[in-house]
């Protein structure tokens, strides 16, 4: 089947709390060793302007 080890991942945008569609490429960044994903590039910019607000 080839589906073993596939995790059911539901990620949420740390900025706006929208659910991120795993099938759509999203903006991502790394902050203090953790990778964050955002539902839009705009959210990524908010996050990067003040990471402590969202972590």
- Binding region for Zn ion (CB under 5 A): 13, 15-16, 18, 39, 43
Residue 36 burial by CB count (10 A; 0-12/13-18/19+): exposed, middle or buried? buried
Q: Among residues 1 and 41, whose Cβ is nearest to Zn ion?
A: 41
In the complex, minimum distance from the CB of residue 5 to Zn ion, in angstroms, rounded to a whole number: 28
Q: Among residues 32 and 38, whose Cβ is nearest to Zn ion?
A: 38
In the complex, minimum distance from the CB of residue 21 to Zn ion, in angstroms, rounded to a whole number: 12
Q: Is the dihedral of CA 10, 22, 39, 26 positive or negative?
A: positive
């Amino acid at each position: 089947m080839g589906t073993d080890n596939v995790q059911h991942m539901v990620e949420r945008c740390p900025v706006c709390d929208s659910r991120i569609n795993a099938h759509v490429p999203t903006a991502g960044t790394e902050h203090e060793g953790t990778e964050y994903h955002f539902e839009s590039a705009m959210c990524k910019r908010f996050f990067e302007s003040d990471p402590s607000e969202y972590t």
